[in-house]
Amino acid sequence: MKTNLKANQFFRAENGAVTVEWVFLAAALVGLTALTLATIETTTLDTTAKTATKISTMGAVD
């Protein structure tokens, strides 16, 4: 009887569900941050390469 009561209390508790939700939200935030940083890195490297090419083709001004 006591075991059934503890099992019922365990299955009705929502503490574990809240923890899982926070872990999921944290993982989603980390994933979105990584995706954003990868996009910014690609754009920055592309812009840097274009700028370097433009500067090298302009030549020196006396």
End-to-end CA distance of the chain: 95
Q: 6-58: per-residue pLDDT in tens?
A: 878 877 777 777 788 899 999 999 999 999 999 999 999 999 999 999 988 88
Q: Distance between alpha carbon 4 and the CA centroid of its chain, in Å?
A: 42
Q: Which token pair is 35?
A: 């995706």
Give residue 3's pLDDT band: very low, low, confident or very high (50, 70, 90): confident
Residue 61 has pLDDT above 80, yes or no: no
| C-alpha 2: how far from chain center | 45
Q: What is the pTM of this model?
A: 0.57
Residue 62, pLDDT above cutoff 70:
no
**Which helix (DSSP H) or strand (DSSP E) does residue 62 occupy?**
none
Element (H, E) at 10: helix 2-12
